[in-house]
Structure 1
């Protein structure tokens, strides 16, 4: 498992130095992303992708839950009132799950990531957000290194239970 660490950095030079230190401490480049409030980031800093910037994953999960439940209810009604077989419940649940995930993720793709909502004021003030997915056993080591080598950074929070294979 990985823990997602959020750090605010004052400028791009500080972001580069922090990124270089993470690389030197064997945190792979694919596990570190940066997000700015509007100013474009330099090409050497990996920018947060579509799934980090939007609420598409949250929307898909919500849509799957609602669609699956509605599909089960529809399947039960079809079995009870139309006399179809019990496999109908499974089929309608699967169809509801897929349709709900698709429809909700399409709608949520236009929305900013709800998990990053708390960081918006700092981003609008010109700060850069570093998002690093760190192996759980190394979190204390990396936090200590960043605090020691980069006093200009400000810890923004931590999320646990990030999948190993995102």
Structure 2
């Protein structure tokens, strides 16, 4: 599903989160697009718990690694064309393989680093989560953002709507 926006809601308890999840599922939001983050000791039971991609900086790190690694790989391929190793003839494939190898290596190294870093987008919610609030992140079609915000406001006035994130990574 392309053109998604991530909605953020702070909620006081698991019961309200459960009701909102049910409403979202009835509104045809896939279960995989709903993520709940809470303190470690909060039992989420069958609720869709936020995964590694939501809790960490994994996805932005991979994106940076692809870009930097690919760029370095292209530069290495160009260097191989200009200054070929002794006894070898370098062709255009050197640039392609350099870019692919660099992008792959950059993504892998960055993923190893990013998976250990907390998600920088969630820093503003740390205090509220620490006080027992639950953070719900819902990925909805961009043309339905207002519809879902209005639905939450009407049915759950205790929900604190924290806005949207402009773009959702294409993966994972």
> Could you say whether these structures have the same fold, taking a TM-score greater than 0.5 normalized by the shorter chain as the test?
yes
- Number of aligned positions between the proteins: 166
Which stretch of the first structure deviates more once superposed, 26-35 or 98-107?
Answer: 26-35
On the 8 A contact 1:70/1:93 being kept in 2, the answer is yes
| Runs of at least 5 residues in structure 1 that lack an aligned partner in the other structure | none
| Runs of at least 5 residues in structure 2 that lack an aligned partner in the other structure | none
Moved over 6 A (4+): none
Which residue does 2:152 correspond to in 1?
146
**CA distance in structure 2 between the aligned counterparts of 1:46 and 1:22, rounded to whole angstroms:** 12
On the 8 A contact 1:55/1:109 being kept in 2, the answer is yes
Tell me whether 1:119 sits opposite 2:125 in the alignment.
yes
TM-score, structure 2 as length reference = 0.88
**CA distance in structure 2 between the aligned counterparts of 1:122 and 1:157, rounded to whole angstroms:** 15
- What does residue range 1-166 of structure 1 map to in structure 2 within 5 Å? 1-82=3-84, 84-162=90-168, 166=172
Cα deviation, 1:49-92, whole Å, max 9, x if unaligned, reads 11111111111111111111111111111111125223211111
Over aligned residues, Cα RMSD in angstroms? 1.8
Cα deviation, 1:9-61, whole Å, max 9, x if unaligned, reads 01112211222222233323222110003323322211011111111111111
| Secondary structure in 1 matching 2:15 | helix
1:162, CA displacement in angstroms? 2.8
| Secondary structure in 1 matching 2:167 | strand
TM-score, structure 1 as length reference = 0.91
